[in-house]
Amino acid sequence: MKRVFLLLLVLAFSTAASSWAAVQPDEMLKDPVLEARARTLSQQLRCMVCQNESIDDSDAPLAHDLRVLVRERIEAGDSDTQVLDFLVARYGEFVLLKPRLSWRTVLLWGLPPGLLLTGMALLVIAARRRRGQGQEGAPDLTVAEQARLKKILAESGSWSADPTFRLD
């Protein structure tokens, strides 16, 4: 039990230490307000090397360069939108962790809900068809066929216990 606890403790501290180590002290801006803006922007940008991490969490050299570039643009007086637009113009939409909704990304945003709605519609249509076939598929029995069916069921004893069963 102690070993598991120690292992979890070491794992927690190593994970926390790796995210703390991503942004180096020499990168940080002196103004805490500007540094907070830079950190917020860095969390929205994808590391082009890691591809599943923000540049704020990545230790890759390219992520370091992008963090420095973001801070330089902020110090130059750019707004958050201007910084993001600059990086998108330079590296493409892929640099954003959450791509913007545009005519080029409408398929990316619309495909999952579209597939869900299509699947639900197909299930409803299939259920209606199945229900409709049960009523249309059974032909009416003649009096002779009903008597014969009643005799067969009486011999097997399957319906005799059910008092509500009627053929007419």
Of residues 108 and 86, more confidently modeled: 86
Q: How confident is the model at residue 159 (pLDDT cuts 50, 70, 90)?
A: low
Q: Quick one: tokens of 144?
A: 């002779």
Considering the chain, what percentage of its residues have pLDDT values greater than 70? 73
Instruction: List the domain boundaries for the chain.
Output: 2-95, 139-168
pLDDT of 136 higher than 60: no
How confident is the model over 84-109, as a mean pLDDT? 83
Q: How far is CA 128 from CA 50, 116, 137, in A?
A: 49, 19, 14
2-95 under CATH 1.10.1060.10, yes or no: no
Beta bridge mates, 96: 45
Question: At how many degrees (to 10) do helices 32-44 and 61-75 cross?
Answer: 130
What is the overall mean pLDDT for the chain? 79
In tens, the pLDDT along 16-72 reads 444 444 666 666 777 788 888 988 998 989 888 887 888 888 888 888 888 899 999
